[in-house]
């Protein structure tokens, strides 16, 4: 490589926003419905949204009420070759369509049913496509399994950092030690045990982690959300995500009237558990009827939001950041390259420095002052917490809404039209490289999963077969000719 070529490459790599990122963001913004193109919208301005896998390992070894998987999901064998082939296809398509960087979930049934080597290989494939992967699990696995995923055959870390989201709630059946939990509090020791595995991983091997705690909310456990919030805040989870239940998936698991729980109901209980108001309107991912998020510093027992929607200076700093830094890739970028990117952005927009420093000062004041922050840093109790509510939609509305959207039509029915608006704003995409589509998660689970899993039953029957399987579901690659693995 000549000096000229090296300099050209360095210039491109250190641009504050890569051309591919700019293209993906502009396309994302252009395709959003007008009603979500607001000043606080993050999609299309600093993020393309989250992503997830589908049809790669639908089987789970717990039973939940509700369950968002179709009735055939547990009739499909876990197969590492199939998983790796399809993860790579889906992630590469997302890389092509949505740019060089995004957060993606390795999700299906239960990720720990994958052999550890296959799990690790899937994460590496996702990273190779520029995705920041998060493994979605019920958390009922041993520390040795985690080590086998994170460490190679020589005992060296494959990753500097891993991300896991663990789902814990009293609606789940079959967890070892809590087969039929009678309350959310009964699961606290299991939540703590899960988080401790990753603290141990860092102590013993230097691998850091990002941990999310997920919980489905129905009328039966709504009033326990505040207690769960208080408990989990005392653990080393970085995110607390709550999902009001929806009528999606296996109808045999629908035991309650889920419509009795709203996104406002859940947020109020989260605030009760946090012991304070949690302002969220300064930023938005997609439609506010679907998602509600706030991020802040956790100092002692105080949550200091990064942005206060009632503070005009905070909003002005937000707008500057989104305008000049939105789309800059922070994760997966080396520190020297990131430093050059930031310097180049600030040299181009030196007026950003005072407002951003002012924002930092206000965050410190909201945290209780500089002494409180320094005290928390010394004691190791300073952290950042994210609170999230994802409000999914019922299949009965998603199916007709999507059928009309596929035809380019808008429904006259107010409820179906609202569903169409929310689907058009969805922050969570799943890829279908076989037909060049990206679909919202609610569409995947409500419309596409049943047929997909029915096809997977034929492709990957629970009883292992050595013969070649002729029939396969559309969009899913055939198994390699050798090495078909037995069910775990």
pLDDT at 464: 60
Average pLDDT rounded to a whole number, residues 259-272: 95
Say yes or no to pLDDT of 357 above 60: yes
pLDDT at 469: 38
Average pLDDT rounded to a whole number, residues 450-460: 94
Q: What is the pLDDT of residues 372-423, one digit of tens each?
A: 999 999 998 899 999 999 999 999 999 999 999 999 999 999 999 999 999 9
Structure tokens at 455: 């096809």
pLDDT at 212: 98
Peptide bond preceding 261 in cis form (omega within 30 of 0): no
Residue 371 pLDDT grade (very low, low, confident, very high; cuts 50, 70, 90):
very high
Question: How far, in Å, CA of 463 to CA of 477, rounded?
Answer: 20
Least confident of 221-235, 246-260, 395-409: 246-260
Question: How far, in Å, CA of 108 to CA of 56, rounded?
Answer: 6
Q: Give the pTM.
A: 0.92
pLDDT at 474: 41
Among 196, 186, 188, smallest CA distance to 164 is for 196
DSSP, residue by residue, 119-150: HHHHHHHHHHTTEEEEEEE---S-HHHHHHHH
pLDDT at 224: 98
pLDDT at 6: 87
Say yes or no to pLDDT of 50 above 50: yes
Say yes or no to pLDDT of 250 above 50: yes
Q: Are 201 and 160 in contact (CB under 8 A)?
A: no
What mean pLDDT, rounded, does the chain reach?
92
**How far are the Cα atoms of 53, 94, 115, 441, 466 from residue 437, in angstroms, in the given order?**
13, 10, 30, 12, 33
Q: Are 93 and 51 in contact (CB under 8 A)?
A: no
Say yes or no to pLDDT of 488 above 90: no
pLDDT at 485: 32
Q: What is the pLDDT of residues 123-181, one digit of tens each?
A: 999 999 999 999 999 999 999 999 999 999 999 999 999 999 999 999 999 999 999 99
pLDDT at 260: 84
Q: What is the pLDDT of residues 19-34, one digit of tens each?
A: 999 999 999 999 999 9
Q: What is the pLDDT of residues 56-92, one digit of tens each?
A: 999 999 988 888 888 888 999 999 999 999 999 999 9
Residue 463 pLDDT grade (very low, low, confident, very high; cuts 50, 70, 90):
confident
Q: What is the pLDDT of residues 295-331, one digit of tens each?
A: 999 998 899 999 999 999 999 999 999 999 999 988 8
pLDDT at 254: 76
């Amino acid at each position: 490589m000549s000096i000229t070529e090296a300099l050209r490459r360095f210039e491109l790599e250190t641009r504050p926003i890569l051309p591919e990122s700019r293209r993906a963001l502009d396309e994302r913004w252009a395709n959003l419905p007008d009603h979500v193109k607001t000043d606080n919208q993050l999609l299309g301005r600093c993020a393309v949204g989250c992503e997830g896998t589908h049809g790669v390992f639908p089987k789970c070894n717990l039973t939940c009420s509700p369950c968002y998987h179709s009735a055939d999901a547990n009739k499909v064998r876990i197969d590492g070759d199939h998983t790796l082939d399809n993860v790579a296809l889906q992630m590469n398509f997302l890389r092509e369509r949505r740019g060089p960087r995004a957060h993606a979930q390795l999700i299906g049934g239960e990720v720990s049913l994958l052999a550890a080597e296959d799990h690790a290989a899937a994460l590496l494939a996702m990273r190779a496509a520029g995705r920041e992967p998060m493994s979605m699990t019920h958390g009922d696995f041993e520390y040795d399994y985690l080590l086998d995923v994170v460490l190679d055959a020589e005992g060296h870390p494959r990753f500097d950092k891993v991300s896991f989201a663990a789902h814990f709630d009293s609606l789940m059946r079959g967890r070892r030690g809590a087969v039929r939990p009678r309350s959310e509090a009964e699961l606290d020791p299991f939540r703590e045990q899960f988080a401790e595995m990753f603290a141990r991983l860092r102590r013993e091997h230097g691998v850091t982690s990002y941990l999310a705690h997920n919980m489905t909310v129905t009328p039966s456990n709504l009033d326990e959300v505040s207690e769960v919030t208080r408990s989990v805040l005392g653990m080393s989870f970085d995110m607390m995500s709550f999902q009001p239940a929806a009528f999606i998936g296996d109808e045999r698991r629908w035991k309650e009237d889920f419509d009795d729980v709203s996104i406002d109901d859940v947020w109020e209980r989260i605030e009760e558990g946090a012991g304070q108001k949690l302002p969220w309107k300064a930023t938005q991912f997609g439609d506010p009827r679907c998602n509600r998020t706030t991020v802040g510093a956790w100092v002692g027992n105080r949550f200091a939001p990064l942005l206060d929607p009632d503070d005009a200076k905070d909003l002005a700093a937000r707008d500057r950041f989104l305008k000049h830094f939105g789309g800059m890739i922070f994760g997966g970028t080396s520190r020297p390259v990131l430093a050059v990117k930031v310097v180049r952005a600030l040299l181009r927009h030196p007026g950003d420095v005072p407002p951003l420093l002012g924002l930092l000062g206000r965050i410190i004041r909201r945290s209780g002052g500089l002494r409180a922050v320094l005290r928390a840093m010394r004691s190791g109790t300073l952290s950042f917490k994210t609170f999230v509510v994802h409000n999914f939609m019922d299949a009965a509305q998603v199916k007709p809404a999507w059928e009309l959207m596929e035809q380019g039509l808008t429904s006259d029915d107010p409820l179906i039209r609202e569903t169409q608006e929310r689907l058009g704003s969805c922050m969570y995409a799943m890829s279908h490289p076989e037909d060049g589509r990206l679909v919202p998660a609610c569409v995947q689970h409500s419309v596409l999963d049943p047929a997909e899993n029915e096809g997977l039953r034929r492709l990957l029957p629970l009883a292992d077969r050595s013969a070649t399987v002729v029939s396969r579901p559309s969009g899913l690659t055939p198994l390699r000719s050798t090495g078909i693995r037995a069910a775990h």
